[in-house]
């Protein structure tokens, strides 16, 4: 599990995290703003940066676990390279700044998504369908949630159960081939996922519903 080390703090930044500051400053300006005992120590600078990134990943992971797991892996690889001196400090800072800006923007635009997926919520659903990987299914769940969710549903057990049932219904309909080849998606796009769907959903449909519902619950689109 990814854990942010709360002992590493940017005391001179008061209530502003390094990641917030990067929206208006570059990384080198922020390093210059760090306390002297940190900025004059390359390892201390790196650990401070990595700690801030881990905190953001932990905070944002519920919105798209698959995507942030990938970002976490990139961070840990960079950390390992730094510690093993595979990458020099200057190039490390360049790579880490790119990663931070990607996180700040919640930039999923550079990822390889079907063109039909427009919103971050749709992409998050798609990412977390596991082996199914169906744009049609992600869009169908998104559409049904958007059109059928009730006001103030978060925290209301009955309303939440209704949304879980909606997700389960969409999965069951897709499993049975309803709408899959109705011209909404091409056969080429849907067939690989469709061929294996029955086996996948029979094995873990409740687990899939739970995972997708948690994503829905953490998406601002579904307020």
Shared-domain flag, residues 46 and 131: no
pLDDT of 191 reads: 45
* End residue of a domain, out of 47, 77, 104: 104
Q: Is residue 98 part of a domain?
A: yes
Q: What is the pLDDT of residue 133?
A: 80
Whether 140 and 216 map to the same domain: the answer is yes
**137 and 161 share one domain:** yes
pLDDT at 24: 66
Which of 22-26, 87-91, 152-156 is the least confident region? 22-26
Residue 72 has a pLDDT of 94
DSSP codes, the chain? -----TT---GGGTT--HHHHTTTS-HHHHHHHS-HHHHT-HHHHHHHHHHHHHHHHHHHGGG-HHHHHHHHHHHHHHHHHHHTTSS-HHHHHHHHHHHHHHHHTT--TTS---TT--SHHHHHHHHTTTT---HHHHHHHHHHHHHHPPTT-TT-HHHHHHHHHHHHHHHHHHHTTTTTTSSSS-HHHHHHHHHHHHHHHHHHHHHHHHHHHHHHHT-GGG-
Whether residues 89 and 19 fall in one domain? yes
Beta carbons of 20 and 52 less than 8 angstroms apart: no
**Which pLDDT score, from 0 to 100, does residue 166 have?**
96
Residue 3 belongs to some domain of the structure: no
pLDDT beyond 80 at 34: yes
Co-location of 84 and 129 in the same domain: no
Q: Is 112 domain-assigned? A: no
48 and 138 part of one domain? no
* Same domain as 209, residue 125: yes
Of 69, 104, 139, which residue constitutes the final position of a domain?
A: 104
Structural tokens at position 94: 């360049």
> How many Å apart are CA 65 and CA 72, to the nearest integer?
10
What residues make up the domain containing 187? 120-222
Instruction: Let me know whether 31 and 74 are in one domain.
Output: yes
Q: How many structural domains are present in the chain?
A: 2
Mean pLDDT (the chain) is 80
pLDDT grade for 175, boundaries at 50, 70 and 90: confident
Q: State the number of CA atoms in the 13 A half-sphere of 175 facing the CB.
A: 16
Point out the domain boundary residue: 50, 78, 104: 104
Is 5 a domain residue?
A: no
pLDDT at 197: 55
Q: 181 in a domain, yes or no?
A: yes
pLDDT at 54 over 50: yes
Position 82 pLDDT exceeds 80: yes
Q: Cα dist. 222→106, 191, 216 in Å?
A: 17, 29, 7
For residue 114, being part of any structural domain is answered with no
Contacts of 172 (CB under 8 A, 6+ apart): 201, 205
**87, 133: one domain:** no
What pLDDT does 110 receive?
58
Q: Which pLDDT value is given to residue 132?
A: 76
If you search the block for the tokens 């919520």, which residue do you land on? 121
What's the predicted TM-score (pTM) here?
0.77
User: Within this chain, do residues 131 and 96 fall inside the same structural domain, yes or no?
Assistant: no
Across 43-52, 96-105, 113-122, 154-163, least confident range: 96-105
Judgement on whether residues 86 and 143 belong to the same structural domain of the protein: no
Structural domain includes residue 110: no
**Residue 202: which pLDDT band, with cuts at 50, 70 and 90?**
low
pLDDT of residue 155: 95
Quick one: 162 and 135 in the same domain?
A: yes
Percent of the chain with pLDDT over 90: 48
| Res. 192 pLDDT band, cuts 50 70 90 | very low
Q: Is residue 197 part of a domain?
A: yes
Q: What is the mean pLDDT of residues 152-180?
A: 87
């Amino acid at each position: 599990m990814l854990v942010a080390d709360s002992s590493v703090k940017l005391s001179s930044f008061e209530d502003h995290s390094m990641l917030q500051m990067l929206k208006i400053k570059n990384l080198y300006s922020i390093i210059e703003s760090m306390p002297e005992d940190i900025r004059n120590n390359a390892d201390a600078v790196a650990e401070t940066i990595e700690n801030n990134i881990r905190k953001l990943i932990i905070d944002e992971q519920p919105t798209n676990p698959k995507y942030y797991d990938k970002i976490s892996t990139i961070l840990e690889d960079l950390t390992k390279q730094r510690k093993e001196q595979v990458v020099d400090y200057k190039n490390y800072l360049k790579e880490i700044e790119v990663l931070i800006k990607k996180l700040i923007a919640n930039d999923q635009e550079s990822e390889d998504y079907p063109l039909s997926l427009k919103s971050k919520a749709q992409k998050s659903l798609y990412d977390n369908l596991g082996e199914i990987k169906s744009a049609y299914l992600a869009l169908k769940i998104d559409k049904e949630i958007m059109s059928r969710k009730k006001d103030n549903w978060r925290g209301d057990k009955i309303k939440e159960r209704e949304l879980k049932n909606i997700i389960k219904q969409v999965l069951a309909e897709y499993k049975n081939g309803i709408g899959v080849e109705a011209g909404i998606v091409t056969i080429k796009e849907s067939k690989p996922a469709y061929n294996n769907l029955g086996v996948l959903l029979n094995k873990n449909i409740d687990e899939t519903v739970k995972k997708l519902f948690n994503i829905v619950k953490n998406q601002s689109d579904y307020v």
